[in-house]
Amino acid sequence: MFGIGGGELIFILFIVLMLFGSDKVPEMARTMGKAMAQLKHATNDIKNEIQKGAEANGLDQKSLSDLTGGFNAEIEKAKQSLLGDSTNSITNLANDITSEINQAAKSTVADAKESADAINNQAEGPVKRQM
Specify the pLDDT at position 62: 64
Cβ(58)–Cβ(49) under 8 Å? no
d(CA 105, CA 27): 85
Q: DSSP label at 125?
A: S
Tally of residues, the chain: 131
Cβ(54)–Cβ(60) under 8 Å? yes
Specify the pLDDT at position 111: 78
In the predicted structure, residue 75 carries a pLDDT above the cut 80: no
Q: Mean pLDDT across the chain, nearest whole number?
A: 78
Kindly list the domain boundaries of the chain, sorted by start residue: 32-116
Reported as a single tens digit per residue, the pLDDT across 45-57 is 999 898 888 778 7
Q: Which residue has the higher pLDDT, 22 or 42?
A: 42
Specify the pLDDT at position 108: 82
